[in-house]
């Protein structure tokens, strides 16, 4: 795997299928700036698209079947309408592609057969949403190859269905919204109840800032079970408080709500969700006012809340946050569901390398495997390249 990601997709296409692709479509990974475990509580999130992309080189196949190749796996996978129409028939990574075909067909679209070659710079399984990137890139390719009528605002829901119902991964709408609707120099404010989105100015480059993304490389310990437990706890708390979801607990009513709950753990879970929603709203207000540096304390407060109240961080993650702050980051927090994954830190662009080196040194001191580091600016969403 070397060279530009789009060139690799084209080279893969030529090598696997012969001839030239009809076009190339790309979709980015994403990172969530703030708003963790708020999505399933009908609350707010604020992700942005990354400059790392998954690219699909594609052309129509006249036999009405689909062939997919990814540089992550030498073996191409082939399937037809029968396999696409039955979730589970195509498994492994190609299920993400078959799932998109399935979701399009289930929504009544006539999907053309296609040959697809996929290359990606999005790290797989690190929490930067390589899954939404592959879905969104394949979706963009199939929609255009087939001349299908599917406006951008309806695409996130369809890609989410592919992942939920065909792949079988119970994820919310955030990832697909961010990678499809993200805009350069902006973060995407998403209301998970109404699914309304709003572009919020977040022009780090113009402000001389950057986000340092640190891949903790921590093994995901018990992540699925713990996620389910947090979710259940939030649902039970909402029921006990007589609200549809924790989003309905106003910040000003938090203390009164907490007083009505009878165990300390539930109180802390609720406090995280309610204060986190408020931190997203406060972040949006500051960004609207162009005060990017001032969101730093909100990011750090979000981390403390995840560590102390929601209890979803691990030592590698806490170490990365502390080291980034000590090295001068304006704010830092874990991003993603927890128990591993990535940390993000808001830094001066010219300090990004110093902060990254400080985190790497802190990891070495603690005997942790070296972290991955990456400096990013908010990028655009899924699009056709040529």
Active site residues: 175
Of the two residues 173 and 261, which places its CB atom closer to ligand ADP in the complex? Answer: 173
- Using CB under 6 A as the binding criterion, the count of chain residues that bind ligand ADP stands at 16
177 lines the binding site for ligand ADP (CB under 6 A): no
The 3-state DSSP class for residue 133 equals: helix
Residues 126-145 that bind ligand ADP (CB under 6 A): 126-131, 134
User: At its nearest, how many Å lie between Mg ion and the CB of residue 12?
Assistant: 22
Looking only at the bridges linking them, the beta strands covering 66-70 and 114-120 are: parallel
Q: 54 touches which of ligand ADP, Mg ion, none (CB within 5 to 8 A by kind)?
A: ligand ADP
176 lines the binding site for Mg ion (CB under 5 A): no
Of the two residues 127 and 331, which places its CB atom closer to ligand ADP in the complex? Answer: 127
Q: Closest by alpha carbon to 345, among 202, 205, 186, 214?
A: 214
Q: Which two tokens stand for residue 86?
A: 């039955």
What crossing angle do the helices spanning 315-326 and 352-366 adopt, rounded to 10°? 140
Of the two residues 175 and 276, which places its CB atom closer to Mg ion in the complex? Answer: 175
Round to whole Å and give the CA distance between 112 and 184: 31
124 lines the binding site for ligand ADP (CB under 6 A): yes
CB-CB contact of 150 with 109 (8 Å): yes
Whether residue 128 is annotated as binding a ligand: the answer is: yes
Tell me the per-residue interface mask from 22 to 61 with ligand ADP, x by CB under 6 A, - otherwise: --------------------------------x-------
The 3-state DSSP class for residue 5 equals: helix
| Cα–Cα distance list, 4 to 11, 58, 62, 156, 213 (Å) | 10, 17, 29, 27, 21
Near ligand ADP by CB under 6 A, which window of 123-131, 288-296, 308-316, 349-357? 123-131
Q: 93 touches which of Mg ion, ligand ADP, none (CB within 5 to 8 A by kind)?
A: ligand ADP
What crossing angle do the helices spanning 296-308 and 315-326 adopt, rounded to 10°? 150
Q: Closest by alpha carbon to 175, among 196, 154, 157?
A: 157
Of the two residues 117 and 258, which places its CB atom closer to ligand ADP in the complex? Answer: 117
176 lines the binding site for ligand ADP (CB under 6 A): no
Q: Which two tokens stand for residue 68?
A: 């997919």
Which residue in 72, 206, 229, 326 binds ligand ADP (CB under 6 A)? 72
Near ligand ADP by CB under 6 A, which window of 116-124, 241-249, 262-270, 273-281? 116-124
Whether residue 96 is annotated as binding a ligand: the answer is: no
Whether residue 177 is annotated as binding a ligand: the answer is: no
Whether residue 39 is annotated as binding a ligand: the answer is: yes
CB-CB contact of 251 with 291 (8 Å): no
How many other C-beta atoms can be found within 10 angstroms of the C-beta atom of residue 307? 19
Q: 335 touches which of Mg ion, ligand ADP, none (CB within 5 to 8 A by kind)?
A: none
Q: 10 touches which of ligand ADP, Mg ion, none (CB within 5 to 8 A by kind)?
A: none
Q: Closest by alpha carbon to 336, among 40, 187, 127, 123?
A: 127
Q: Closest by alpha carbon to 36, among 156, 183, 238, 192?
A: 192
Q: Which two tokens stand for residue 357?
A: 């080196």
Looking only at the bridges linking them, the beta strands covering 331-335 and 209-215 are: unpaired
131 lines the binding site for Mg ion (CB under 5 A): yes
Please report, as ranges, the residues that interact with Mg ion according to CB under 5 A: 129, 131
Please report, as ranges, the residues that interact with ligand ADP according to CB under 6 A: 54, 70, 72, 93, 96, 118, 120, 124-131, 134
**Binding-site annotation: residue ranges for Mg(2+):** 131, 163
**Binding-site annotation: residue ranges for ATP:** 70, 125-131
């Amino acid at each position: 795997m070397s060279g530009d990601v789009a060139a690799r997709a084209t080279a893969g296409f030529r090598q696997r299928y012969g001839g030239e692709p009809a076009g190339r479509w790309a979709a980015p990974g994403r990172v969530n700036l703030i708003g963790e475990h708020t999505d399933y509580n009908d609350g707010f999130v604020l992700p942005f698209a990354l400059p790392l992309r998954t690219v699909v080189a594609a052309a129509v196949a006249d036999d009405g079947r689909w062939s997919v190749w990814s540089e992550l796996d030498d073996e191409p996978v082939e399937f037809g309408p029968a396999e696409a129409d039955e979730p589970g028939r195509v498994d492994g990574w190609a299920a993400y592609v078959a799932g998109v075909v399935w979701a399009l067909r289930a929504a009544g679209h006539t999907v053309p057969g296609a040959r697809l070659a996929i290359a990606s710079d999005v790290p797989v399984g690190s929490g930067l949403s390589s899954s939404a990137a592959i879905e969104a890139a394949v979706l963009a390719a199939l929609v255009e190859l087939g001349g299908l009528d599917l406006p951008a605002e309806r695409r996130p829901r369809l890609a989410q269905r592919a992942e939920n119902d065909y792949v079988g991964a119970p994820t919310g709408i955030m990832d697909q919204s961010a990678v499809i609707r993200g805009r350069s120099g902006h973060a995407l404010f998403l209301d998970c109840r109404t699914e309304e989105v709003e572009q919020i100015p977040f022009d780090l480059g113009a402000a001389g800032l950057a986000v340092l993304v640190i891949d903790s490389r921590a093994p995901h310990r018990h992540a699925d079970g713990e996620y389910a437990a947090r979710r259940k706890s939030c649902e039970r708390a909402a029921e006990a408080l007589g609200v549809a979801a924790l989003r309905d607990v106003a910040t000003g009513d938090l203390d009164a709500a907490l007083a009505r709950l009878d165990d300390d753990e539930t109180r802390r879970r609720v406090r995280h969700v309610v204060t986190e929603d408020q931190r997203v709203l406060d972040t949006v207000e500051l960004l609207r006012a162009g005060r990017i540096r001032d969101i730093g304390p909100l990011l750090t407060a979000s981390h403390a809340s995840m560590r102390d109240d929601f209890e979803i961080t691990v030592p590698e993650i806490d170490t990365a946050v502390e080291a980034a702050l000590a090295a001068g980051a304006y704010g830092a927090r874990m991003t993603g569901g927890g128990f591993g994954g990535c940390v993000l830190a808001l830094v001066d662009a010219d300090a990004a390398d110093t902060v990254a080196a400080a985190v790497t040194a802190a990891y070495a001191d603690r005997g942790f495997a070296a972290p991955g580091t990456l400096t990013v600016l908010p990028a655009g969403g899924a699009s056709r390249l040529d």
